[in-house]
Amino acid sequence: MKWDVESLFNYEKIAPYSTDAVSSKEHFIPLIIAMGAGDDSKKAALLYRTFQYGNLSLTVWKFD
């Protein structure tokens, strides 16, 4: 929500256990692509979040 793309690009170095949450980059890269589509205003809104099996997060984001 803070639009900190530098941290997002370096998530593997910043969060050493990120591979536990994001098993491969193709699960994370669509987020970066979607953010680029809304780059003019740099606003993100969380539209929906739910969890399955206790720890599987499913989210829907809107980028303006």
pLDDT tens track for 4-21: 878 888 888 888 887 787
Q: How many domains are contained in the chain?
A: 1
**Do residues 48 and 59 make contact, with C-beta atoms less than 8 angstroms apart?**
yes
- How far CA 11 is from CA of 20, 40, 41, in Å, comes to 12, 23, 23
Which domain does 56 fall in, by range? 5-63
pLDDT at 35: 76
Hunting for tokens 């900190």 — which residue is that? 4
Q: What are the backbone dihedrals phi and psi of residue 15, each rounded to the nearest 5 degrees, phi first? A: -115, 90
**Do residues 24 and 18 make contact, with C-beta atoms less than 8 angstroms apart?**
no
Q: What is the C-alpha separation between 38 and 35, in angstroms, rounded?
A: 5
Q: Would you place residue 1 in the very low, low, confident or very high pLDDT band (cuts 50, 70, 90)?
A: low
